[in-house]
Amino acid sequence: MITLLIADDHPLYRDALRGALSLSLPALTLKEAGDLTTTVDILNNEDIDLLLLDLHMPGSNDLFGLLHIRKLFPELPVAVVSGTEDTTLISKIISVGALGFIPKTASAQDIANAVEAILDGDVWLPENLSENVDEVNEAFSELADKVASLTPSQYKVLCYMRDGLLNKQIGFNLDIAEATVKAHVTAIFKKLGINNRTQAVLIASQLELEPPSQ
């Protein structure tokens, strides 16, 4: 029995995806999660054969959720499900190890085709987008791998650094002590192999990381 996890914070879309997959691939066992923390908990405690991941659910914040999961579960096949059909973003998704990109506008048959292809070990992209998706960028993959080593809290600090906030302001926004922010900044510099905020901002900008959810 194949077990698939749908990680998306919109219940209506999860229901629609469940319905589409149940009709096309009735042998699948389907699990659901609405945020990154729940997703990781399920992956830690159950045998999941494929993860369908929404980039913008709580805790994920654009690429970080994918990077974080790829770091924790490198052997897990992951397909990104998104309402954004930007080929630059899709190229980055594939560069960091996702095996597919499924637009939220995809038909039930296309979703089923994508799931079957990825379970077979293939990379699946929509026909109308595949020609415009760039080849895997090794330099970006290496950069993303460093960011994946950050904890969720460190990632939030990195995003705020990119937005130009001082340690005191970051502490206020995250409701933590300024000393804790400084400790996070030190850890970020060490993990990313850098030594100043300017370099951190450059990395965050290259990854096009989004500000953390409030």
Same domain, 170 and 74: no
8-37 pLDDT, tens per residue? 999 988 998 888 888 888 888 999 999 999
Please indicate, yes or no, whether residues 20 and 125 belong to a single structural domain of this protein.
yes
Asked, for residue 67, whether it belongs to a domain, the answer is: yes
Q: What is the CATH number of the domain that holds 90?
A: 3.40.50.2300
Average pLDDT for residues 77-84, to the nearest whole number? Answer: 90
Mean residue pLDDT of the chain comes to 87
> pTM for this structure?
0.81
User: Around 152, how many Cα atoms within 13 Å sit in the side-chain half-sphere?
Assistant: 16
Are 88 and 124 in the same domain? yes
Q: What is the pLDDT of residues 102-111, one digit of tens each?
A: 988 888 889 9
Question: What confidence score (pLDDT) does residue 58 get?
Answer: 81
- Is the pLDDT higher at 128 or at 176? 176
3-state SS assignment for residue 186: helix
Over range 60-69, report the average pLDDT.
82
What's the structural domain count of the chain? 2
- pLDDT tens per residue across span 30-49: 999 999 999 999 999 999 99
Please determine, for residue 140, whether its predicted confidence score (pLDDT) is greater than 90. no
Per-residue pLDDT, 21: 87
- The Cα angle at residue 147 between residues 120 and 38, in degrees rounded to 5: 60
Residues 11 and 111 reside in one and the same domain: yes
pLDDT score recorded for residue 212: 45
- The alpha helices in 73-134, defined as continuous H runs, are 87-95, 108-119, 127-130
CA 111 vs. chain centroid, Å, equals 19
The answer to whether residues 109 and 32 belong to one domain is yes
Say if 165 falls within a structural domain.
Answer: yes
Residues 56 and 105 grouped into a single domain: yes
Residue 110 lies in a domain: yes
CATH code for position 177: 1.10.10.10
User: Per residue in 157-211, pLDDT tens?
Assistant: 998 998 899 999 999 999 999 999 999 999 999 999 999 999 999 888 877 655 4
Residue in 23, 41, 37, 89 with CA at minimum distance from that of residue 62 = 89
Same domain, 90 and 171: no
Residues spanned by the domain of 195: 150-207
